[in-house]
Amino acid sequence: MNAYDEYMKQVVKPMRSELTDAGFKELITTEDVQDHMAKAGGISLIVINSVCGCAAGLARPAVVAAVNELEVKPDNLVTVFAGQDQEATATMRSYFEEIPPSSPSIAIWKDDQLAYFIPREQIESNSMETIKEHLSGVLSQIVSS
């Protein structure tokens, strides 16, 4: 590993832990993603994490707050990190390849298909509270249906 890679690993550590500390499982390899997608039942909330300060700095706390306020939670909370775990991210995106790559972004996977997707454009132009309310509303509908 070169000095830049080591530096970036340290830079993203708190960005990773913001989600993992809230109960999200990191999918770091292609195999992690394939295993999750093959075996996970129910609803998966998938966060495609990113270094981007503006959008990701809003997305992570909004997702955590949305999940925390739900009475009925998604069955699985998972995350891949765009730009860091590139193969895992590419593999995850292949499950909803009709959606242009976007990071950060939020996907809701239900019954082996994409149920909802929030792209970066709907994250970066909104407040953390608006993102949280949007995600909470969508999750509430999907989880209860």
Choose, from 11, 54, 72, 99, the residue flagged as catalytic.
54
Instruction: Give me the pLDDT at residue 52, please.
Output: 78
pLDDT in tens, 71-122: 989 999 999 999 899 999 999 999 999 999 999 999 999 999 999 999 999 9
54 is a catalytic site residue: yes
pLDDT at position 1 over 70: no
Choose, from 19, 33, 46, 52, the residue flagged as catalytic.
52
pLDDT at position 62 over 90: yes
pLDDT in tens, 105-114: 999 999 999 9
Looking up residue 31, the CATH number of its domain turns out to be: 3.40.30.10
What sign for the dihedral angle of Cα 137, 138, 141, 144?
negative
Number of domains in the chain: 1
Domain that holds residue 91: 3-144
Residue from 72, 22, 79, 82 nearest 45 by CA: 79
Instruction: Give me the pLDDT at residue 77, please.
Output: 98
pLDDT at position 8 over 70: yes
User: Quick one: how far is CA 116 from the chain centroid?
Assistant: 12
Q: Are 29 and 87 in contact (CB under 8 A)?
A: yes
141 is a catalytic site residue: no
